[in-house]
Amino acid sequence: MDSNTKANKRRHLDIVVSGIVQGVYFRLTTKAVADQLGVKGTAQNLPDGTVAIEAEGDAFALDAFLEWCHEGPERAVVEKVVAVEGEMKNYRNFEVIRKSRG
């Protein structure tokens, strides 16, 4: 079936989460959720106070992951989530990036 093939196809999303999302364990909790769902990629704090996430997985995992991004961990206050399809980078795991590079 065509819908089955699409569901199994891996995709890449570039996600930016805005609100009170730094200093509330957002990146670490994101990694735990990603690991549970089998999502690969990265999460890092940006200087503007947002969290940038690159996520790769199948449609089901990414849908669940995005749903979680709208909630965040207990102390977070998520105001906005922007997700854009991007080019696959074939991440092997999910990594929290501690410092902004550059």
- Known catalytic residues? 27, 45
- Closest by alpha carbon to 83, among 58, 55, 49, 50? 55
Query: Coil, helix or strand for 21?
Result: coil
Task: Tell me whether strands 51-57 and 40-45 are parallel, antiparallel or unpaired.
Answer: antiparallel
